[in-house]
A and B are shown apart, each in its own frame.
Chain A
Amino acid sequence: MFRKILIANRGEIAVRVIRALREMGIGAVAVYSDADRTSLHVRMADEAEHVGPAPSGESYLRIDRILDAARKHGAEAIHPGYGFLSENAEFAAACEDAGLVFIGPSAASIRAMGSKTEARQNAVSAGTPVVPGTDHGVNLEEARAFGRSHGYPILLKAVAGGGGKGMRSVLREAELEPAFRNAASEAERAFRSPEIYVEKLIERPRHIEVQLLGDRQGNMVHLGERECSIQRRHQKVVEESPSPLVALHPEMRQAMGEAAIRVARAAGYYNAGTVEFLVDQERRFYFLEMNTRLQVEHPVTELVTGLDLVKLQIEIAAGARLPFAQEQIAWRGSAIECRIYAEDPYNDFLPSPGKITRLHRPLGPGIRLDGCVYAGWTVPLEYDPLLAKLAVWGGTREEATARMLRALREYDIGGIRTNLGFFRQILEDEEFRAGRLHTGFIEGFFARHRPPVPPPGLAAVAALAAALDHMTSAAPPPPVSSGARPWLAAGREELLR
């Protein structure tokens, strides 16, 4: 086993890895940029090395500086976390060249899954369904033939494209000809190529992914699914396991699990990885992509399986065999995770960095909190504003939902805006309760949802608090002490005027 590991990351995931290392008795080396000198991962680590200025391109993404830090501190392996260099094949190869173990899959697997077309080919050859499409440019007649054989709606996309340019959804054949012409001319203008390919449009899809774990000896298991359909700006915000859909149709878990393993095996995959699927309304699933790293939402899988994915990643990287077979994996209860961000959900999710003035964390049964926040810490402007992942476990989905609502109510982060209140509204939403999820859930939620109205009577309490606070505003901030009430004295003075 390793004696010392460097974590090439920051924020909550660096803290998560440090916790695993400490439990394993392995030394933890943190790296940090100018913006992170007082961040929690630096404070919690055994050793820390500065790797550059705040912009990640000059610090956390600098392969040379990360490797220098590992050598200087005598680390034997590097955990990349997620994001930054975690899916960078060049980095994985550079680690191995430097005699350091990269805690993840091989550079070749990362490369194979990093290319959309190669990953799709892999899936097709592994017999895993992909969203039906032509994969190459077509003319109008070929597009018509595709629509007839696969059924409408279909999606027209620019071969050279991206960002929605040259993209058209076509609901019926009558709309095809004008849509095709528009898409082609838009593609021509945007990318100087009018080439269009066709894909089946999956309406109201669910995003369901399968967690995989494989060792370097060729053993591989799946740890079940996570449903991550609730997304804003294509980023997941609520994740759960089991998926409410799979809970109703348990045979899906095995079918998706086996399909995911086939895709990963085709790429010679080992260590932890996740295969993402789109699931349509008829419960057919289609390969989307494979993430060749630990996922942000891994805690929900850990809660229902009782496994520690980070420790298993490290053991596998050290050469250990998987300590269990597929049939030994059991799932128990229900887990939900909310990603707590410094942002204002009622103002177009505008980021809200700043200093955390107050912090009260939820505690008690079934709560897990993975965060990087402390009172007095200033959320840096330079990075993703993820503050913490609040995860709960319950015997049933209903219990987990009630527990999450209870935890959200206890959670208080002062000084910045967060999406804590937004999650309370989502978890009380009828569609969420019924498990009717799809990737357009948040748009639909905003369309049917009205901002919460405080119960009558609460305004009186707020007014009283504001009035009393106002009367003390001239006085310096009161010290924490049960006996002393400087604001009270100030209030008395006011009353005497």
Chain B
Amino acid sequence: MKLQLTINGAEDEIEILAPAPACQFRWGGAERAASVEMAEPGVYSILLEGHSYDARVERTARALVVVIDGYRFEIDVRDPRRWSHKGRGRAGEGVETLVAPMPGKVVRVLVAPGDVVEAGQGILVVEAMKMQNELKASRAGRVAAVHASEGATVAAGEALATIG
């Protein structure tokens, strides 16, 4: 199967021709073979062209994060045959949902439902470990809903406000 990837912001494509453990895949125009085993939960041991790698995979709110040898790859994987992934998260159109980038406490809500906001306007202030971080709207619009109240503890990825 063919998958479209965005790796640290750059577009790419991979085709899996045979599954693990004796994996065949096409990458960068060449067909390649790799031995792949899940050694621990979330950790793949990959042998590719004589080299050994441990790839640690984590799912975050935004993308898959793969860490190899301390190098971090943020990867968005899309199956071109599925339409549901297309066009999500684009700034400047549709509905924007503001999510908590990390767990913390909502110390201030700067807007109320119905308010008209500018792109870049502060919406909420979230505190984690004594540091306050203002979350801003990425687009102009009207605040459709505020999902968190002042004093609430929020998890990473939790929806805080919707701007329509």
Contacts and interface: CB of A to CB of B under 8 A. Distances in A.
B77 A354 contact: no
A409 B27 contact: no
Contact of A458 (B56, B71, B102, B153): B71
A23 interface: no
Contacts of B81: 497
Interface residues of B, number: 57
Given A460-B28, A488-B19, A381 B129 contact: yes
A455 B19 CA distance: 26
Interface of B is mostly: strand
A27 B32 CA distance: 59
A463 interface: yes
Contacts of A469: 44, 57, 59, 64, 66
B48 A357 contact: no
Interface string A311-351: 00000000000000000000000000000001000000011
B104 interface: yes
Contacts of A478: 38, 41
Nearest to A349: B131
Given A466-B73, A480-B41, A497-B1, A459 B19 contact: no
Nearest to B48: A461
Contact of A459 (B7, B38, B41, B69): B7
A458 B69 contact: yes
B148 interface: no
Interface in B52-77: 53, 55-59, 64, 66-73, 75, 77
A421 interface: yes
A354 B103 contact: yes
A495 interface: yes
A452 interface: yes
A383 B5 CA distance: 38
Interface in A336-387: 342, 350-354, 357-358, 381-385
Contacts of A25: none
Interface string B4-25: 0101000010101011110101
Interface stretch (A77-85, A137-145, A216-224, A412-420): A412-420
A378 to B, nearest CB: 8
Given A466-B57, A478-B41, 4 more contacts: A384-B129, A415-B58, A458-B53, A459-B12
Interface of A: 342, 350-354, 357-358, 381-385, 408-409, 412, 414-415, 420-421, 424, 452, 454, 458-471, 473, 477-480, 485, 487-488, 491-492, 494-495, 497
Interface of B: 1, 3, 5, 7, 12, 14, 16, 18-21, 23, 25, 27-28, 32, 34, 36, 38, 40-44, 46, 48, 53, 55-59, 64, 66-73, 75, 77, 79, 81, 102-105, 127-131, 133, 153, 156
